[in-house]
Each structure stands twice: as structure tokens, then as C-alpha cells.
Chain A
Amino acid sequence: DGGITQSPKYLFRKEGQNVTLSCEQNLNHDAMYWYRQDPGQGLRLIYYSQIVNDFQKGDIAEGYSVSREKKESFPLTVTSAQKNPTAFYLCASSPGQGGYEQYFGPGTRLTVT
């Protein structure tokens, strides 16, 4: 059963703690993406990776970090430097080294108090 998985679906953290969101895909896609979605807003790009061991900052990368050690995995760390971390986080992948037909995971809702 191919697809993108994100875990956990809901995540709660205290302010000041770093937290890592998981994203795994078995679609054999080269490109992977992290987006942030706030209520009533569109998706904003945090980071993206077109190939293993390489990634680029998106529009709102400050306070976030990523790694791409394996093709299947693209974890996102929300650091304590991110001023407003509470949001819905979406991971996506696409075939080739970046495209517009992206396949999204179910998302992780992060709440920081």
C-alpha cells in the first residue's frame, strides 16, 4: 500500500522544547516537502529536498530544521526558536526532482503551550 505517512497525528509539547515530526514515503519519489498550514490560510513552504543529502529553505524556514539521509524519510524538527509553532504540518512528495503534482500525507497537528 503506497503512500506517505506522518506520525503522530496529534502532538503536544511545552514551549522551549524541540520536537521532531516524522514523514515517510514508499512511493520512490525523489522530492519531498514540508508545509505549514494555519487556520484559514494556504500552505506555506518550510523546506524541500529534491534529492538525498540535499535540501533548500522555503519561505518560512526560520526556527525549523530538516535532514534527508534516506530517500524515504524527511523529518522536520521544530526548534524552540520557532516563535509560533502551533500549526498543522503537512509533508508531501513528488516524482522527479520537484514538480507540481504532489502527494500529501495526512498531516500532524502540533500544539505548543
Chain B
Amino acid sequence: GESVGLHLPTLSVQEGDNSIINCAYSNSASDYFIWYKQESGKGPQFIIDIRSNMDKRQGQRVTVLLNKTVKHLSLQIAATQPGDSAVYFCAEFREGTALIFGKGTTLSVSS
């Protein structure tokens, strides 16, 4: 079946390090791949998206990479800060359908 999953449920980094959060997907027909951030007790927030015909997109301190050959998506956070501590979800989207979320990776940033 269609699924979006993450390689690791938790990731711990030191403040100032770069973080890489990975996600594997199975549906080649998805049009967009998206990253959301969820802080404790809150709803998820949109971070960045990438269209399926792209392989890299950069935002402010974040970069998303898409490797369609191996169906892999990653989120890179530069100079990770304590405020980046949260659960990160990847999601996939096809036009005319709904978002499908993965299970999430908990990022813990220590000072």
C-alpha cells in the first residue's frame, strides 16, 4: 500500500550542529513532498515543500532533498537551535487527494 515513513523515530544533536531527518516514500505518483514541524502540545506547522520534478529546495536554514531513484526525502536543518526541537513529519500529496503523513521523527537539541 501507499505509505510515507521515516527512517529513525528520534534524533539527538548538539546546538549548532546540522541535522538531517530522513524519510522514505513508496508512491511514485505523488506531486509534492512536504515537511511539517510539530512542537509539543501544538498542531503541525508547514516548513517547506518540494515539487516532484525538483531534487533540491532551500529555505531559511532548511534544505529539502528529493531522490526519486530511491524514493527518499530528507530535511536538513543548518545550525540547529534549541527552538528546533520538535517532531518532524514528512508528507506526500497528489492533486485531488489528501495529504498522507509519515510517523514522525523527534528531534532533540541539547545546549
Residues of A within 8 A of B (CB): 4, 33, 35, 40-45, 48, 58, 90-92, 98-107
Chain B residues in 8 Å Cβ range of A90: 43-44
Q: Are B98 and A98 in contact (CB under 8 A)?
A: yes
Q: Are B34 and A100 in contact (CB under 8 A)?
A: yes
**B42: contacting residue among A40, A45, A106, CB under 8 A:** A106
List 7 additional contacts besides A33-B98, A106-B42; criterion CB under 8 Å. Answer: A40-B104, A42-B102, A45-B98, A90-B44, A100-B32, A100-B99, A106-B43
Interface residues in B59-111 (C-beta closer than 8 Å to A):
89, 91, 93, 96, 98-99, 101-104
Chain A residues in 8 Å Cβ range of B49: 100-101
Q: Are A43 and B98 in contact (CB under 8 A)?
A: no
Count of chain B residues with a beta carbon within 8 Å of a chain A beta carbon: 21
Q: Are A101 and B46 in contact (CB under 8 A)?
A: yes
Interface residues in B32-52 (C-beta closer than 8 Å to A):
32, 34, 41-46, 49
A-B contact pairs, 26 of them (CB 8 A): A4-B43, A33-B98, A40-B9, A40-B104, A41-B103, A42-B89, A42-B103, A43-B44, A43-B89, A43-B101, A44-B101, A45-B99, A48-B98, A92-B43, A99-B93, A100-B49, A101-B49, A103-B46, A104-B43, A104-B44, A106-B41, A106-B42, A106-B43, A107-B41, A107-B42, A107-B43
Chain A residues in 8 Å Cβ range of B96: 98
For A91, the closest partner residue in chain B by CB is B43
Bound CA–CA A58/B46 (angstroms): 21
Chain B residues in 8 Å Cβ range of A48: 98
Bound CA–CA A48/B49 (angstroms): 21
For A35, the closest partner residue in chain B by CB is B101
Chain A residues in 8 Å Cβ range of B103: 40-42
Bound CA–CA A91/B104 (angstroms): 18
Chain A residues in 8 Å Cβ range of B9: 40
